[in-house]
Amino acid sequence: MTLPGLKLIGLLPEWPPAQALSLALNAAIFGGLIARDSLEPLRGKTVALEASDLGACIRLAYGARGFRPAARHCRIDLTIKASAAAFLALALRREDPDTLFFKRRLVMTGDTDLGLVVKNALDAIDWSRLPRALRGL
């Protein structure tokens, strides 16, 4: 199932969605929603998020100043591939990453230990600290 209107993301250059996600993740880090020390194993690493149904890939590198879009030609350490609906369900906590993984709706390749770092960092977020309007999405 593809979410209405999201196919447009696959038509965009890679940089705008990667920049938007980088800004959101950095805001979560600097706002205390994601513990910076929990992301330390990601330092110097690049993660690719592929929305298989959209033909879109967001590449993010993590460093001393947080996340930033990564170049298309850089080495990818971890790739997480799922449908846009699965990524949205993860973000909204409607689906558990382990469930999606075992149902083969989420696939990780590369350094899967980094996948565990990402999962644990997301699980540790105190979602109650988000503004009420964002929690109800």
Range of the domain at 32: 7-135
**What is the spatial distance between Cα 132 and Cα 136, in angstroms, rounded to a whole number?**
7
The mean pLDDT value for 119-123 works out to: 78
The mean pLDDT value for 93-112 works out to: 90
Q: Does 110 have pLDDT greater than 60? A: yes
The mean pLDDT value for 7-16 works out to: 70
Percent of the chain with pLDDT over 70: 82
Confidence of residue 137 (pLDDT cuts 50, 70, 90): very low
Dihedrals phi, psi of 101, to nearest 5 degrees: -65, -50
The 10 Å Cβ neighbour count of residue 52 is 16
Domain of residue 45, CATH code: 3.30.1050.10
How many domains would you assign to the chain? 1
Do residues 106 and 80 touch, judged by C-beta distance below 8 A?
yes
**Residue 87 falls inside a structural domain:** yes
Token pair 């105190």 is at which residue? 126
Sheet holding 106-110, edge to edge: 66-69, 56-63, 46-51, 78-82, 106-110
**Residue 2 falls inside a structural domain:** no
CA 85 to each of CA 10, 34, 44, 92: distance values in angstroms, whole numbers, following the listed order: 14, 23, 29, 10
**Residue 59 falls inside a structural domain:** yes
**Residue 112 falls inside a structural domain:** yes
**Residue 90 falls inside a structural domain:** yes
Do residues 50 and 73 touch, judged by C-beta distance below 8 A?
no
Q: Does 135 have pLDDT greater than 70? A: no
pLDDT computed for residue 47 by the predictor: 97
